[in-house]
Homo-oligomer: A and B are copies of this chain.
Amino acid sequence: MSFAVPPAIVDSEATRAFREFLRVFGLVERAMQPYFARFGISGSQWGVLRNLHRAEKEGATGLRVSVLSERLLIRPASVTGVVDRLERAGLVAREADPTDHRAKFIRLTKEGRQLVERVLTSHQRQIESVFGGLKVEEQVRLHGLLARLGRHLEGLKSVGLHTVTSEAN
């Protein structure tokens, strides 16, 4: 009964989708990285800058490290690193939160704001170029499938025997 051994020759649809997902992510990274490099920043740094810019438009003077951590889906310790480099580049500044001396507000400097505006003038076009391989209707379908998958993953707290990173946060 050779059925006892899983048929490794043919992969499941989930496996095929999984592999393609990882592969395309690599390709997207490779397409975006030189784009950001033109502005002297990295994709991660753009994530911080974009969020700060949005916050400004909504009237906030800055964002806490913890808020950036949640929005960017990275740990606070990682935010510290990215902010360090942005600060060194003069694009953001750290400011004490008067109501809570443990917390710090990260805000855009004038230079940072100017850079964001400059990136934004070409940003849509860049993303369209990356996703231009899909018709708008396909982009919508992709977004829908990803959103569904995302909701599933948010619910998936423990997948194996471990908890995703557990309550350590």
Residues of A within 8 A of B (CB): 6, 8, 12-18, 20-21, 23-28, 30-32, 34-35, 37-38, 73-74, 120, 122, 124, 126-134, 136, 138-143, 145-156, 159-165
Question: Would you call A34 and B151 a contact (CB within 8 A)?
Answer: no
Main secondary structure of the interface of A (DSSP, over half): helix
Given A17-B134, A31-B153, A133-B155, 11 further pairs, Cβ under 8 A:
A12-B127, A13-B143, A17-B142, A18-B28, A20-B150, A27-B153, A31-B164, A35-B159, A38-B162, A126-B159, A133-B151
Copy number in the complex reads 2
A-B contact pairs, 30 of them (CB 8 A): A8-B120, A12-B124, A13-B143, A14-B124, A14-B128, A16-B139, A16-B143, A17-B134, A17-B143, A18-B127, A18-B130, A20-B146, A21-B25, A26-B74, A30-B73, A30-B153, A30-B164, A34-B160, A34-B162, A34-B163, A34-B164, A38-B160, A126-B159, A133-B152, A133-B153, A134-B152, A138-B145, A141-B145, A142-B149, A145-B145
Question: Would you call A126 and B164 a contact (CB within 8 A)?
Answer: no
Question: Would you call A145 and B148 a contact (CB within 8 A)?
Answer: no
Highest count of chain B CB atoms <10 Å: which of A16, A74, A126, A132: A16
